[in-house]
């Protein structure tokens, strides 16, 4: 399999050059086009967006000042509408105005090159950005494998159904209600899928046991949060998600596990996620219980707060959401289909990864 790995490592970087002036496109293309780069040209912002939708690029080099859709607007569309936070966007500009450069960076540009530029500078900037993109893509593949493994854990348990998909959706809804920033929303959403990945290390005889667990078996089961933390801790991209995985079973009064953290010692995102995890368990039917009504769920959360088990401020925000917009917490059918497709894609990724490792 070494040949396959070498082919991937030596694949050309795919670059999109965007400029409304043909001479400028030709100049950038001549600098970049080689055995190292494969260049495609776009004549304006609209053409660029169409190309990005159709092809996968390692990097985009675009002019700031273009008619109709400017370089800044292209950046905004790529980041927000196309949801591509990691695609490198290098802005080429003739301006030396710091405010304009700041505007480009705020729009989503990764870097900028001032005209006139040397071919050495442009080549170095593009090469560095493209290399970083490849590394990011490899990390993304590893994340996909983790997500697929987490789904496999869920699939083992016929009882939980679409538990992870529902939590993934509710995490975004509740996170926005809490005013979380982008990184926190991503972490909470990932937590929806990965929170129980540590159950990979729990024997099936315990994980799938039909009857109640013994105290010794519960001791083993409670290890899953620490095991999940161990599995995901090596990825820097999981920096904000790992605390959710480890601490979503802690309790406000310090009676939870694995570290018996108390109050605000428990990471904020773990406290928020815990509420969603409990809500999903209460609101869905299990073989051993019916689905509780909204009024019953509210009463249980209020009782938990009185016992000192949950963060009262976060529970208050969640219950207000539940009372006023309960439909927002429901997983839309189209999202369920999308996530099922994602699961199959991730499982294929595991197979591909295993073949390449072999």
Q: What is the DSSP letter of 78?
A: I
Instruction: Specify the pTM.
Output: 0.58
Residue limits of CATH 3.40.50.2300 in the chain: 2-135
* Dihedral pair phi/psi, residue 108, rounded to 5°: 125, 0
The tens digit of pLDDT for each residue in 114-148 reads 888 899 999 998 988 888 887 766 655 666 677 67
| CA-wise closest residue to 50 among 58, 41, 59 | 41
- For 144-189, the pLDDT digits (tens) are 677 677 767 766 665 555 788 899 999 999 999 999 998 899 999 9
Residue 36: half-sphere exposure toward Cβ, Cα within 13 Å: 12
Place of tokens 């199959």: 344
Q: Which has the higher per-residue pLDDT, 199 or 61? A: 61
pLDDT, residue 332, reads 85
Is the CB of residue 250 less than 8 Å from the CB of residue 257? yes
Q: Residue-wise over 9-47: b if at least 16 C-beta within 10 A, else e?
A: eeeebbbbbbbbeeeebebbbebbeeeebebbbbebbee
CATH 1.10.3210.10 maps onto the chain at: 157-357
Which H or E run includes 92? strand 89-93
Q: Which CATH class is domain 157-357?
A: mainly alpha
Residue 80 clears pLDDT 80, i.e. is over it: yes
Q: Write down the mean pLDDT value for the chain.
A: 85
Kindly list the catalytic residues: 199
The CATH fold assigned to 2-135 is Rossmann fold (3.40.50)
Classify 15 as helix, strand or coil. strand
Residue 3 has pLDDT above 80, yes or no: no
237 burial type by CB count under 10 A (0-12 exposed, 13-18 middle, 19+ buried): middle
């Amino acid at each position: 399999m070494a040949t396959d790995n070498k082919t991937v490592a030596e694949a050309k970087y795919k670059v999109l050059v965007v400029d409304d002036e043909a001479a400028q496109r030709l100049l950038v293309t001549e600098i970049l086009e080689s055995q190292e780069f494969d260049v495609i040209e776009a004549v304006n912002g609209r053409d660029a967006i169409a190309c990005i939708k159709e092809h996968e690029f390692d990097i985009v080099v675009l002019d700031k000042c273009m008619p109709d859709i400017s370089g800044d607007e292209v950046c905004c569309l790529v980041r927000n509408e196309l949801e591509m936070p990691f695609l490198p966007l290098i802005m080429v500009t003739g301006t030396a105005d710091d405010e304009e450069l700041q505007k480009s960076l705020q729009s989503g540009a990764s870097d900028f090159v001032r005209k006139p530029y040397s071919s050495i500078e442009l080549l170095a900037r593009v090469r560095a950005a493209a290399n970083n993109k490849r590394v990011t893509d490899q990390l993304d593949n590893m994340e996909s494998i983790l997500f697929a493994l987490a789904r496999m854990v869920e699939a083992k348990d016929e009882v939980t159904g679409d538990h992870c998909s529902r939590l993934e959706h509710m995490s975004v809804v509740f996170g926005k209600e809490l005013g979380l920033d982008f990184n926190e929303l991503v972490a909470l959403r990932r937590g929806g899928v990965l929170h129980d990945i540590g159950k990979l290390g729990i024997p099936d005889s315990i994980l799938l046991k039909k009857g109640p667990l013994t105290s010794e078996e519960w001791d083993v089961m409670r290890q899953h949060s620490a095991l999940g933390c161990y599995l995901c801790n090596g990825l820097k991209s999981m920096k904000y998600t790992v605390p959710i995985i480890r601490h979503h079973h802690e309790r406000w009064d310090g009676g939870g596990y694995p570290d018996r953290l108390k109050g605000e010692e428990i990471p904020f995102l773990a406290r928020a996620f815990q509420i969603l995890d409990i809500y999903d368990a209460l609101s869905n039917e299990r073989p051993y219980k019916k689905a509780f009504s909204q009024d019953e769920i509210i009463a249980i959360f209020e009782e938990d707060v009185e016992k000192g088990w949950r963060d009262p401020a976060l529970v208050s925000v969640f219950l207000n959401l539940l009372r006023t917009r309960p439909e927002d917490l429901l997983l839309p059918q189209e999202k369920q289909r999308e996530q099922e497709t994602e699961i199959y894609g991730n499982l294929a990724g595991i197979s591909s990864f295993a073949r390449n490792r072999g």
